[in-house]
Chains A and B, each alone.
Chain A
């Protein structure tokens, strides 16, 4: 029997995040192959009620560290609690998401456990002993590297949208282990948190992304992109060119020096497809290009495309999506 596969459960606004469901789905698939169990760490404040939700996606055991002092993420507090649990229970593998906190925590936990770590895995497999093989993009998706670990534990940060979460199976239950968290010394203090309105969809987690580029001619025309995004329930993205030109905030940039995304559907509107943009979105499942230049490189990676003027096509597309939605 292999050592357990552990998953960090992340929550937001009282719900388990989608990435956690994706990780648990994958973990239970790998656990079945290696004869391992799946353990989840549920950490935060007022999160204990979510433990069975994790069971529905494949956790056999849920370690609950629910405490007021864990209400806000801190590197030290979370690392101490999580690394402590992994060490004590001799975890074989630990999966986290490539999220703000996942990125912050993973390298520290790895060193604490003297374990090898990788980030941004997009494929994952294991043998009967639970030894992992992972694939991760390098050069922002222009190539992929397949990696293996020299030993256990194996620490793996997984990119959002790499695996599809299965539907919840509400008949499943998990053993709940309540943990008294020992945060140790916390050397940072969060003095303020500013989060923009909750309805904004995070680019790296979005199922659909509508991005705009220089073809929109000016910031005043970006409403064409946001209108379509809204109609499709999509997140809005941007090319580096228009971020550099100051039309839109860096937060929206997709590409090698911006966000690397892999949604189900990516619509590139008025984006020519510079190599640095392609690097950030070419792993999208379906790519649609709308550009007036038929020779634009974006059409080489597109599954569907329309050669034409974004000023005519985007409003028509928004109307068509709204129309078919109404049916």
Chain B
């Protein structure tokens, strides 16, 4: 089975956000980077499929050489090879262009199944997966919490919907987006890290994918980044239980929310 996993390197969830003076970007120097947590589920699921059916797991990302550390963690988890796509013209690209680059690399690579996280934890966009699937002309199942392989050609994917789930039967090739609950990503052991260093990590530029700078113009542009407005100090009571009646009164009469 030819398994491809798209992943993204993101700041960890404890990251503090500082906006740059230009108002259009955030300070990235102090970020501690991790693999977006949903993508970690996607990598784990890819490796599990390989363990069951054989084949290879290729991980692919769009980003600078900084992403090598994240790609290496995926290789240490058990992926076989990694692809990093980058060109300086790709700074601040939108979901559409990201998907275009990934789809082209995946197509060139060959695939039976493509796995992604259900969203990136930094932009929270949840768009790239579906865009890649559409560009590859393959079906998709979003928000998958359980994946059962009927055989090498057919899957049952449990998709989260409001208040419940659907079980979806689909034949390969397909794109799956991973939601929490799908699995528990394995811990990386030291020997795996050593082994990962020897695995193939390929870097592709725009021309390797047959694109020119004009092909990667974004359709959506960020014009400003702001921090949430500072909240004014709240009304905090300290007498415990005896404040309850007053609180309910304020919620009803002042805030008018109940």
Chain A residues proximal to chain B, CB less than 8 Å: 12, 75-76, 79, 99-101, 103-108, 110-112, 115-120, 133, 137-151, 187-196, 198, 200, 202, 205, 208, 232, 250, 256-258, 260, 264-265, 275-276, 279, 282-283, 285-289, 294, 299-309, 312-313, 316-317, 320-321, 324
Contacts and interface: CB of A to CB of B under 8 A. Distances in A.
Nearest to B168: A188
14 contacts: A79-B134, A100-B142, A103-B130, A116-B96, A139-B17, A189-B170, A192-B166, A194-B164, A279-B13, A286-B255, A303-B231, A313-B240, A313-B244, A324-B248
A320 B244 contact: yes
A198 B134 CA distance: 33
Given A117-B220, A148-B220, A205-B162, 10 more contacts: A104-B143, A139-B15, A146-B223, A193-B161, A194-B164, A194-B165, A257-B121, A282-B228, A286-B255, A308-B241
Interface residues of B, number: 81
Given A189-B169, A190-B168, A286-B257, A302 B236 contact: yes
A250 B143 CA distance: 13
Contacts of B188: none
B217 interface: yes
A309 B240 contact: yes
A304 B240 contact: no
B255 A110 contact: no
A265 B127 contact: no
Contact of B251 (A12, A193, A286): A286
Closest 3 pairs between A and B when the two form their complex, measured CB to CB: A116-B219, A107-B130, A308-B240
Most buried by B among A110, A139, A150, A299: A139
Contacts of A106: 127, 130
B221 A303 contact: no
B166 A111 contact: no
Given A138-B225, A257-B37, A316-B244, A120 B162 contact: no
A76 B140 CA distance: 9
Contacts of B125: 118-120
A126 B160 CA distance: 34
Nearest to B170: A188
Nearest to A83: B134
A301 B231 contact: yes
B13 A276 contact: yes
B215 to A, nearest CB: 12
B139 A76 contact: yes
Interface string B13-32: 11111010000001000000
A139 B11 contact: yes
Given A119-B126, A265-B255, A111 B140 contact: no
A195 B164 contact: yes
A141 B139 contact: no
A324 B124 contact: no
Nearest to B167: A192
Contacts of B194: none
B244 A116 contact: no
Contacts of A103: 126, 130, 142-143
B71 to A, nearest CB: 22
B124 A250 contact: no
Contacts of B11: 139
B9 to A, nearest CB: 14
Contacts of A307: 236-238, 240
B164 A110 contact: no
B128 interface: yes
B88 interface: no
B151 interface: no
Contacts of A112: 134
A317 to B, nearest CB: 5
B224 A146 contact: yes
A200 B163 contact: yes
B206 to A, nearest CB: 19
Contacts of A196: 163-164
Contacts of B180: 250, 257-258
A139 to B, nearest CB: 5
A265 B26 contact: no
Nearest to A111: B134
Given A108-B134, A304-B250, A265 B258 contact: yes
A121 B196 CA distance: 40
Interface in B1-53: 11, 13-17, 19, 26, 37-38
B55 to A, nearest CB: 22
Nearest to A72: B166
B238 A108 contact: no
A193 B166 contact: yes
A320 B248 contact: yes
A107 B131 contact: yes
B168 A191 contact: yes
A312 B143 contact: no
A306 B237 contact: yes
Interface string B65-101: 0000000000000000000000000000011100100
Contacts of A194: 164-167
Nearest to B143: A100
A193 B158 CA distance: 9
